[in-house]
Every structure is written in structure tokens, then in C-alpha cells.
């Protein structure tokens, strides 16, 4: 039987005490006497012999990694994109050269790629590069144990200056318009950073990564809501910031169409239970990795609480879905558990894409536990999704809805779509608003989603038809029932590790990469030691706050960027059709995501993981 090739070595017993995250975090994570280092993944011996394309691929990996580590990174940290001369660099927005971006595909994503390359080749250079990136993340870790979207090695003053200039003028990026001073679960930044540091600790049991991992565990546990309908859920940001933004400037009544609404309908959204960007799923996955890799079985009850929160917050029929956020406590006459609004372009309502994600998570929870209660109300959710599809006329009227099946937001009670629009030219004279008009919607936040009801029904029928014996067999291999440390998957940068990859006996295979495909990646690298790609975004340089005088045109209504004062990223090939914007070719640059993708192809070529035969 062909299996992944890991070199296993014994692990001395060690007691790991969580710290920095509340009393629930102060639990013992132990590797007991007699347990082996099955969680320690040593690199595989590369095969076939390093000749021809294989040798060229190994050489290309080393040169590309060296360039990223020693030339592109800043103190081991990464942003998303760079002009070749580093005169401008970007994360989700334009960044300072001294910054690292935590959101994928930023610093932790690059760290995973370095560690994967180490597993594929055994070269210590890749491990040292991963180590440097891990140290950058340790420095960037919030004292509470999580991470913000970004970190500035130049210090707090430099970071705050960025927020009050570039961040404050990003019209469509409200999470960067104010500095909260805490950490976030949004966009998986904390989850991916935690996973990477966990892997780094497990790799060689380097003690400098133990405390950061335990702080991350403590952060996840301490931030989890306790008691009430929100029990087990997570907020978007934590610790709570009493100065969090709870409203946006009121729009100009003369520019707000009749029958429209505007503003943050439920106030500060960062303290609500959030399902945005699958926060619950990402946190559960990290905790499961700790159960598997550390043998931290004391985390299982926290996982169960999170699963129950998702199940509990499914709304009653006939609108049996979920919102992006749900109230954690009673607020303004509305009960805890009710769907809530968030940013000014995320109105109160049910979210069809979030409902699809949560149904898929219920499938995962059933597989993990074998408990049919997680399937019980899936048909209700699917039946509801059938009732709120986009009409053919709506799709025909709005090119931005092409290929979509459902509105993004569904109004509570009426079951009709709520569509978001904006007027003005920048954050100082513009505003978002929403109504029932499906035309002229946002381009940067799609107002339509592609919901695969048939696929979810098929999965439901398959799972619901499982026999008790089949369920027992599946649950026996569930990571929830892991009793001692064992190996995590070998690679994390080639594709996302999912729940199924954490089951005992699971083999996370790599995609097939042919010699010709690998050679093409090597040839593209050439002698310059870095890959260049067309960058999908550019930005206007910060030039001060924009004008507050009303702008009555609609040139920016369905564009990613406003006037030249708006620092939001946009596609150079598709700017607003107004002077001084002109269509330009996307610039060539260095992309962290492209580097990770190319490294992944070479890793899968030089040291593939194949299914058992």
C-alpha cells in the first residue's frame, strides 16, 4: 500500500498549558507517556531522482523561495502584491513597505508554502524561511492571541497614520476606515495564522512557537460567546472595543431614492455572532487540528458548542436560513438570535450564500458526530432557497447578475431581494443605500449569488440514507474522537485543508502535475528568480481627503473605485468612464498568491501524495 512518506521520531512527553485567553484556555494540552510524535511531520525523500525536469524544479523552488524570503519579504512578512521595484505594494489596499498582511494570501499563506516545500524536499533552507515568517507572525500577534488584518513593523504610530490616510479614504472598505486596536476572525487571518504556527510548533517542537499557539487557542476560546442563544458562536472582532463604529454619516436626503434605506441598521456589528467568511467553520477547523496534532481533547466541548450555535440560529420557517450576522443579545427591541445588519452595504436580512455555506457545514457536523439532528432542518433551508430566486427579468436587466441564481440578501418577512447601491464619488460625499431595485447594483460586493440547491439536495439525500453501521464507521474515524497526537496533512498551500482531511486514515492527495506543466513553471521563472504576473488591482495614491460637495453623476455607482481621492483598489483595465481615468493595461508585478500557486505545482510534481492502492 502506497502511503505518504513521513519520518517519525519519538516525542518526549510535555505538558502544554494554555495562556493569555481567559480561564477556559487554561487547560492542559499534553502528550502523555508512551505517545509518539505522529504529529511531527518530517520531510519526505523526494522521488524520482533529481535529474532533468525534476532537478530543474528543485532548483527553481529554491531560487524562487530565496528571492521571496530575502528580497520581497519585509522581516519575514508579506503583503499580496508588489511592483517589481517595490515602489508600490498592496494588501487588500495599498500598503506600506513596512507592513505585512495577515489576510490570505498574505504572510501565513507564504509560511505554509515554505513549510510545504520543506516537506517536499528536506532542504533546511525552506524550513528556515518558514521559521522567519513564523517569527514575523509571532511579532504581529495581538496580546489577546489573535491577529488584525495587517501589522506594521514600523510601529503603532505608523499603523495609525495609515488608517487615518489610506484606510480612511477607501470608500468600499469600511473595515479599514477605523482603527479598532483589537484582533479579528474575519477573512480567516487569525485562523490561517494559528494553523501555520501550530504546524511550525509540531515540526520540530521549537519552544518559541508554543506560547503563541496556546495564546491563539486561548483567543478562540475566550472570544466564544457564553450562554444564551449566542452560546458557542464568535464575534467578528475581539476583545470588544467600546469605541467601535456603530453608525455611518447620514446620506443626503436629496440623493436617496424614495423607498430606500441606509446606514448600519443594528449598530456595531463586530460584537454580533458572525457567519461571514465562515468564521465558525474556520475556528472549528483550527480547534480540530489542535485535537489531532496536539491531542488536545479538552477542546472538543468548545467545538460542539460552536456547532450547536450554528444549528440553533437557523431561522424559523418559512425563511429557514441564516444572516451574515445575528444579534448576540437583545438590541433595540429585537431579540437575540435575529439576523442583523453589518457594514453599510450589508443590510439586515437573510443571506443566501451564507445559508448555502451553513448547510454545507451542517453536512460536515453530521459527518463529524453522526448525529442526525444536524440534518433535520436542511430540507427547510433548501425549500426556502427555492422560493427566493432571481427572476429571468432581473438577470436580463442587470449584467452584474449574469450567472447568478439568487439575490445576496433577502428581506425578512417579505422574502424579496434587498439590493445595495451607492451614490456620490468618495467616502466624504457618497453613501450606500438599499432597496428592492435590482438594477445598477454594486460591482465590488455582488448582489447576486450562485446557489447550488440541486447539489445540496443530492448530498442531503446521500447522507440521510446512510445506515447506522455506515455512520458508526465514519464517526469512529472522526477527528472529534482523536485520542492521541497524529500527523496533520503534509501540504497546506496546494489546496485548502478541509474537515475530511483530518479523519484518521485520510490521505490528502496532490493534483497530478505533468513534466511539461512543471517545466513550463520553471521556464516562466527563468533566470530572474521570481514570477511576474498581471496584477488584478491598482490604486489611486493618497492625496488627502476627497471633496464633500455632492456628486450627482452615476459614474461610480457600479465601479470598484470612486474619484481620484478614493484609495480603493480597482482594475486598471476597467476604470470609471470619467476623466482623468483611462483604460490601462494591468501592470506586471510580483504576486504572493501566484508565487504560492507556482510553488504548489512544483511541490506536487517533485513529491506528490497519491491515494492508497
- Helices then strands, counting H and E runs in the chain, come out as 15, 20
Distance in angstroms (rounded) separating the CA atoms of residues 530 and 371:
49
Is 357:279 a contact under the CB 8 Å cutoff? no
Q: What pLDDT shows up at residue 2? A: 28
Q: Is residue 579's pLDDT more than 90?
A: yes
Residue that is written with C-alpha cell 509560511 in the block: 111
Q: What is the pLDDT of residue 6?
A: 25
Asked if the model's pLDDT at residue 201 lies above 90, the reply is yes
What is the spatial order of strands in the sheet that 409-410 belongs to? 350-351, 409-410, 417-423, 431-435
**pLDDT exceeds cutoff 50 at 22:** no
Q: Which of 16-20, 199-203, 381-385, 597-601 has the lowest mean pLDDT?
A: 16-20
The pLDDT of residue 510: 97
| For range 211-225, the mean pLDDT | 98
Residue 296 banded pLDDT, cuts 50, 70, 90: very high
Rounded Cα gap, residues 561 and 578, in angstroms: 12
- Give residue-wise pLDDT tens across range 148-165: 999 999 999 999 999 999
pTM over 0.95: no
Pair 479, 303: CB distance under 8 Å? no
Q: Over 50: is that where the pLDDT of 10 sits?
A: no
Model pLDDT, residue 49: 56
Number of C-alpha atoms within 13 angstroms, CB side, residue 538?
Answer: 20
Q: What is the 3-state secondary structure (H, E, C) of 140-205?
A: HCCCCCCECCEEECCCHHHHHHHHHCCHHHCCCCHHHCCCCCCEECHHHHHHHHHHHHHHHHHHHC
Concatenated DSSP letters for 283-349?
HHHHHHHHHHHH--GGGHHHHHHHHHHHHHTSPPTTS----SEE-SS-BTTB-TT-EE--STTS-SS
17: confidence class by pLDDT, cuts 50, 70, 90: very low
CB 101 within 8 A of CB 150: yes
Identify the CATH class of 14-516+590-606. mainly alpha
498 has a pLDDT exceeding 80: yes
The predicted pLDDT at position 523 comes to: 98
Q: What is the pLDDT of residue 21?
A: 35
Given this model, what pLDDT does residue 430 score?
97
Of the ranges 27-31, 286-290, 425-429, 438-442, which one carries the lowest mean pLDDT score?
27-31
Please tell me the predicted confidence (pLDDT) of residue 23.
Answer: 31
pLDDT confidence of 422, banded at 50, 70, 90? very high
- Supply the pLDDT for residue 51: 78
- Tens of pLDDT, residues 62-119: 999 999 999 999 999 999 999 999 999 999 999 999 999 999 999 999 999 999 999 9
Confidence of residue 245 (pLDDT cuts 50, 70, 90): very high
Give dist(CA 398, CA 441) in Å, integer: 8
The predicted pLDDT at position 249 comes to 85
Quick one: average pLDDT of 408-417?
Answer: 98
- Give percent above pLDDT 90 in the chain: 90
Percentage of residues in the chain having pLDDT higher than 70: 92
Give the pLDDT confidence of 112-158 residue by residue, as tens digits. Answer: 999 999 999 999 999 999 999 999 999 999 999 999 999 999 999 99
Give 250's pLDDT tier (boundaries 50, 70, 90).
confident
Average pLDDT over residues 495-505: 97
pLDDT digits (tens, 9 = 90+) for 504-546: 999 999 999 999 999 999 999 999 999 999 999 999 999 999 9
**Looking at the predicted structure, is the pLDDT value of residue 34 above 80?**
no
| Mean per-residue pLDDT of the chain | 92
Amino acid at each position: 500500500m502506497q502511503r505518504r512518506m513521513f519520518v517519525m521520531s519519538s516525542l518526549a512527553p510535555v505538558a502544554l498549558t494554555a495562556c493569555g485567553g481567559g480561564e477556559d484556555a487554561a487547560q492542559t494540552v499534553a502528550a502523555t507517556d508512551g505517545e509518539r510524535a505522529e504529529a511531527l511531520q518530517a520531510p519526505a525523500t523526494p522521488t524520482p531522482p533529481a535529474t532533468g525536469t525534476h532537478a530543474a524544479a528543485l532548483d527553481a523552488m529554491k531560487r524562487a523561495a530565496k528571492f521571496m524570503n530575502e528580497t520581497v519579504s519585509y522581516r519575514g512578512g508579506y503583503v499580496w502584491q508588489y511592483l517589481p521595484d517595490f515602489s508600490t505594494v498592496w494588501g487588500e489596499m495599498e500598503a506600506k513597505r513596512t507592513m505585512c498582511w495577515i489576510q490570505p494570501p498574505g504572510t501565513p499563506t507564504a509560511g505554509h508554502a515554505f513549510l510545504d516545500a520543506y516537506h517536499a524536499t528536506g532542504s533546511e533552507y525552506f524550513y528556515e524561511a518558514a521559521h522567519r515568517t513564523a517569527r514575523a507572525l509571532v511579532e504581529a500577534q495581538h496580546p489577546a492571541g489573535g491577529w488584525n488584518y495587517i501589522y506594521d513593523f514600523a510601529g503603532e504610530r505608523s499603523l495609525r497614520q495609515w488608517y487615518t490616510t489610506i484606510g480612511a479614504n477607501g470608500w468600499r472598505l469600511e473595515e479599514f476606515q477605523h482603527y479598532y486596536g483589537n484582533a479579528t476572525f474575519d477573512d480567516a487571518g487569525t485562523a490561517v495564522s494559528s494553523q501555520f504556527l501550530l504546524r511550525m510548533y509540531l515540526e520540530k517542537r521549537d519552544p518559541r512557537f508554543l506560547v503563541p499557539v496556546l495564546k491563539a487557542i486561548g483567543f478562540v476560546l475566550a472570544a466564544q460567546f457564553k450562554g444564551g442563544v449566542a452560546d458557542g458562536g464568535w464575534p467578528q472582532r475581539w476583545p470588544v472595543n467600546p469605541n467601535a463604529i456603530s453608525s455611518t454619516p447620514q446620506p443626503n436626503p436629496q440623493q436617496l431614492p424614495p423607498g430606500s434605506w441606509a446606514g448600519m441598521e443594528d449598530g456595531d456589528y463586530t460584537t454580533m455572532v458572525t457567519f461571514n467568511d465562515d468564521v465558525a467553520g474556520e475556528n472549528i477547523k483550527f480547534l480540530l487540528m489542535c485535537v489531532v496534532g496536539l491531542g488536545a481533547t479538552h477542546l472538543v466541548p468548545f467545538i460542539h458548542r460552536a456547532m450547536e450555535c450554528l444549528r440553533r440560529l437557523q431561522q424559523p420557517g418559512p425563511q429557514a436560513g441564516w444572516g451574515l450576522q445575528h444579534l448576540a443579545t437583545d438590541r433595540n427591541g429585537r431579540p437575540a438570535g435575529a439576523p442583523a445588519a453589518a457594514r453599510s452595504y450589508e443590510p439586515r436580512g437573510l443571506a443566501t450564500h451564507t445559508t448555502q455555506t451553513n448547510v454545507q457545514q451542517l453536512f460536515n457536523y453530521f459527518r463529524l458526530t453522526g448525529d442526525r439532528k444536524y440534518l433535520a432542518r436542511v430540507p427547510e433551508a433548501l425549500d426556502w432557497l427555492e422560493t427566493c430566486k432571481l427572476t429571468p427579468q432581473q438577470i436580463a436587466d442587470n449584467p452584474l447578475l449574469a450567472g447568478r441564481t439568487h439575490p445576496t440578501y433577502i428581506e425578512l418577512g417579505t422574502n424579496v431581494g434587498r439590493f445595495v447601491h451607492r451614490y456620490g464619488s468618495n467616502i466624504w460625499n457618497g453613501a450606500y443605500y438599499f432597496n428592492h431595485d435590482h438594477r445598477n447594483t454594486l460591482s465590488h460586493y455582488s448582489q447576486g449569488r450562485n446557489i447550488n440547491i440541486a447539489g445540496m439536495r443530492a448530498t442531503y439525500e446521500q447522507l440521510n440514507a446512510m445506515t447506522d453501521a455506515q455512520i458508526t464507521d465514519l464517526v469512529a474515524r472522526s477527528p472529534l474522537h482523536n485520542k492521541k497526537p497524529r500527523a496533520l496533512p503534509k501540504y497546506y498551500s496546494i489546496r485548502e485543508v478541509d474537515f475530511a482531511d483530518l479523519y484518521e486514515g485520510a490521505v490528502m492527495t496532490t493534483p497530478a502535475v505533468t513534466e511539461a506543466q512543471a517545466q513550463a513553471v520553471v521556464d516562466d521563472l527563468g533566470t530572474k528568480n521570481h514570477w511576474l504576473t498581471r496584477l488584478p488591482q491598482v490604486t489611486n495614491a493618497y492625496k488627502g481627503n476627497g471633496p464633500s460637495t455632492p456628486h450627482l453623476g452615476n459614474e461610480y455607482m457600479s465601479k470598484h473605485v470612486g474619484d481620484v481621492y478614493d484609495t480603493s483598489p480597482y482594475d486598471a483595465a476597467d476604470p470609471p468612464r470619467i476623466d482623468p481615468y483611462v483604460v490601462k493595461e494591468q501592470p506586471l508585478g510580483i504576486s504572493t498568491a501566484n508565487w504560492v500557486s507556482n510553488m504548489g505545482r512544483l511541490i506536487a510534481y517533485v513529491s506528490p501524495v497519491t491515494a492508497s492502492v
